[in-house]
Amino acid sequence: MNKKTVKIILVVAAIVAAAIIVFSVPYLFDKRTKYGIELYLDSQNMILSATQTVDYFNATGDVLDEIKFNLYPNAFREGAKIKPYYDNDFENVYPDGADYGGIIVSEAASGKNKLQYSVNGKDMNILTVELDKPLKPRTSKKISLIYTVKIPKTNLRFGYSDGLINLTNFFPSVCVYKDGNFIECPYYPTGDPFFSEASDFDVKLVTDKSYAAAHSGNLKSE
């Protein structure tokens, strides 16, 4: 094989590789679940009022009649069986005494259609939304949720103390689907108790001037 032939082959190979990158990368990014969340923070009562839209892409390979969400804030509610801390750490978690939190979902819908939903799981930690029609593989469904979140006074990853408000895992997040089922993740106090798929987020937060937001992602406006 002469040098000229080698160069031609390399050029063709480079063009093919470039074509694969150009056409495959946008496809991958367009096909993951997207969250749109609008939040209003009542810092006097430490309550978040939220409207959330989830554009869920069915990459499971199965036809879905329902979608499940993890409700992590309910691990902080009074009477929770599974807590994000050990009982002997109670005084460290709540240095000023018990101050509980939780999440209340008031509506689920798809467009103008109201959807049936229930809160269940091992410890009221799962939101199950019934779809108005089956969701076929490789198709998307937009679901809107309206809910309120009570932020507890605690120094854990979700809560407020010493002028800081931590809003980690405050929103209903879609359960990962594997082997024919949605994986429900109780908020255990040990290790990394839950996981989720990579998704895109567009978040709007409204609060009073006494707080400044520290966040990841790109700030679009303020």
pLDDT tens digit sequence for 80-114: 999 999 999 999 999 999 999 999 999 999 999 99
Mean pLDDT value of segment 119-128: 97
Query: Which of the four pLDDT bands, split at 50, 70 and 90, describes residue 15?
Result: very low
Query: Which of the four pLDDT bands, split at 50, 70 and 90, describes residue 10?
Result: very low
One-letter amino acid at 165 equals I
CB atoms within 10 A of CB 79: 8
Torsions phi, psi for 122 (to 5 deg): -65, -30
pLDDT at 31: 82
Cβ distance 174 to 35 under 8 Å?
no
Nearest residue to 192 via CA among 55, 64, 84, 107: 84
pLDDT tens digit sequence for 190-206: 888 889 999 999 999 99
Mean pLDDT value of segment 148-168: 94
What is the rounded CA–CA span in Å between residue 165 and residue 151? 8
Q: Which helix (H) or strand (E) holds 57?
A: strand 47-57
Average pLDDT, the chain: 88
What is the rounded CA–CA span in Å between residue 128 and residue 63? 16
Q: Which residues of the chain form beta strands (DSSP E)?
A: 34-42, 47-57, 64-70, 102-110, 113-114, 117-120, 126-135, 140-150, 158-161, 164-167, 173-174, 177-178, 181-182, 200-206
pLDDT tens digit sequence for 42-70: 999 999 999 999 999 999 999 999 999 99
The whole-model pTM stands at 0.85
Q: What's CA 191's distance to the chain center, in Å?
A: 19
pLDDT at 43: 92
pLDDT at 30: 56
